[in-house]
């Protein structure tokens, strides 16, 4: 199974190739629209490098200072990427604004468009691979990079259409106007990515379908006079943390309770790979462990 880092290396290679292709297209044509496209690919490269660092750091095992691991490092990658996207957009807007007052003809349009189409094909293929890998590996870094690459593809499509219209109509002003539209689109993507990153830093619970899967596993023990409460879940990068109380008959031995908890934990970890499950054992006869809603408010430990 390929790791998330191997996919991000693929993204780095794709970014280098597309920068070369799009920069070549800009120098051939002189189109500020194609320049804006090349600058966005430069952001892709920096983002992919930052993503590689984040994934490498997140893969480190838990230690004394970070007993729950380093998986949240991935959020730094997507956060930095969102800032870089906005910086690139500002650069594009400034360049396009200057061109509005200094219109220039576009040359060798066909060759420039051909190079841009090849670059878009590379980005589209890599984005598709990253989307698939992000779901399988549950990586926010791969998902953010895939979204960015896909945005780059649509940006390139818009630029190609715009440059083609300039050739057909001869309206040179379309070139900087298209670049400004690209800049606005990039800002929107950057702000959206930043908002998503900030939201996920607040320890979201697991998706409803995964919580339902956990509850189905717990309900399978109903016939054994076993009950559960105080279920809490949270996501940290590629890892999930699941907490709940297990209520068993008070006459059970410690070993019986321990074996049951271990069995349940293994069942959940098998159903949800990458999850870390923690249980708290209580006697079912103890009313102090319950509140009116059955959520459990007392936090005691054996």
Per this entry, what is the length of the chain?
Answer: 302
Q: Which of 122-131, 163-172, 179-188 is most confident?
A: 122-131
Band (291; pLDDT cuts 50, 70, 90): very low
Give dist(CA 205, CA 213) in Å, integer: 14
Q: Which tens digit of pLDDT belongs to each residue from 12-27?
A: 999 999 999 999 988 8
* pLDDT for 295 beyond 80: no
* Range 180-200 average pLDDT: 77
* Range 149-160 average pLDDT: 80
* pLDDT for 121 beyond 80: yes
User: What pLDDT was estimated at residue 297?
Assistant: 39
Band (90; pLDDT cuts 50, 70, 90): confident
User: What pLDDT was estimated at residue 292?
Assistant: 39
User: What pLDDT was estimated at residue 125?
Assistant: 93
What domains sit in the chain, N to C, each tagged with a CATH number? Answer: 4-200 (1.20.1510.10), 208-289 (3.30.70.1350)
User: What pLDDT was estimated at residue 163?
Assistant: 81
* pLDDT for 212 beyond 70: yes
CB 115 within 8 A of CB 25: yes
By percentage, how much of the chain surpasses pLDDT 70?
88
Torsion of CA 34, 36, 39, 41, to 10 degrees: -60
* Range 197-213 average pLDDT: 77
Band (266; pLDDT cuts 50, 70, 90): very high
Q: Which tens digit of pLDDT belongs to each residue from 32-68?
A: 778 777 877 887 788 788 888 877 777 777 777 776 6
Q: Which of 72-76, 109-113, 142-146, 149-153 is most confident?
A: 109-113
Give dist(CA 244, CA 275) in Å, integer: 14
One-character DSSP codes across the chain: ---HHHHHHHHHHHHHHHHHHHHHHHHHH--HHHHHHHHHHHHHHHHHHHHHHHHHHHTSPP-SS-TT-STTHHHHHHHHHHHHHHHHHHHHHHHHHHHHTS-----SHHHHHHHHHHHHHHHHHHHHHHHHHHHHHT-HHHHHHHHHHHHHHHHHHHHHHHHHHHHHH--TTHHHHHHHHHHHHHHHHHHHHHHHHHHHTT-PPPPHHHHHHHHHHHHTTGGGT-EEEEEEEEEETTEEEEEEEEEE-TTS-HHHHHHHHHHHHHHHHHHSTTEEEEEEEEETT-GGG--TTS--------
Please state, as a whole number, how many other Cβ atoms lie within 10 Å of the Cβ of residue 208: 8
When the pLDDT of each residue in the chain is averaged and rounded to a whole number, the result is 80
Please state, as a whole number, how many other Cβ atoms lie within 10 Å of the Cβ of residue 280: 19
* Range 87-100 average pLDDT: 77
* Poorest-pLDDT segment among 71-85, 176-190, 282-296: 282-296
Q: How far is CA 167 from the centre of its chain?
A: 38
């Amino acid at each position: 199974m390929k790791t998330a880092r191997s996919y991000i290396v693929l993204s780095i290679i794709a970014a280098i190739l597309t920068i070369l292709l799009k920069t070549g297209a800009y120098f051939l044509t002189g189109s500020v629209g194609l320049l804006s496209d090349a600058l966005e690919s430069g952001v892709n490269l920096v983002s992919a490098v930052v993503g590689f660092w984040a994934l490498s750091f997140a893969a480190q095992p838990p230690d004394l200072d970070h007993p729950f691991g380093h998986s949240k490092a991935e959020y730094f990658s997507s956060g930095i990427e969102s800032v870089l996207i906005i910086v690139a957009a500002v650069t594009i807007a400034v360049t396009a604004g200057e061109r509005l007052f200094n219109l220039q003809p576009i040359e060798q349009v066909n060759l420039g468009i051909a190079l841009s189409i090849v670059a878009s094909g590379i980005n589209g293929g890599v984005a598709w691979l990253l989307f698939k890998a992000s779901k399988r590996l549950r990586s926010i870094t791969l998902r953010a990079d895939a979204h960015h690459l896909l945005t780059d593809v649509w940006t390139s499509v818009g630029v190609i259409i715009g440059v083609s219209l300039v050739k057909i109509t001869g309206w040179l002003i379309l070139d900087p106007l298209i670049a400004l539209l690209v800049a606005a689109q990039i800002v929107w993507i950057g702000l959206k990515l930043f908002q998503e990153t900030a939201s996920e830093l607040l320890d979201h619970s697991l998706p409803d379908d995964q919580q339902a899967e956990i509850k189905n596993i717990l309900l399978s023990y109903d016939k054994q006079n076993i009950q559960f409460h105080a279920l809490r879940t949270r996501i940290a990068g590629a890892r999930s943390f699941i907490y709940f109380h297990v209520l068993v008959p008070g006459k059970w031995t410690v070993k019986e309770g321990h074996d049951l908890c271990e069995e349940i934990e293994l069942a959940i970890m098998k159903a949800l790979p990458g999850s870390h499950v923690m249980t708290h054992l209580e006697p079912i006869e103890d009313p102090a462990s319950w509140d009116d809603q059955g959520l459990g408010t007392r936090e005691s430990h054996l």
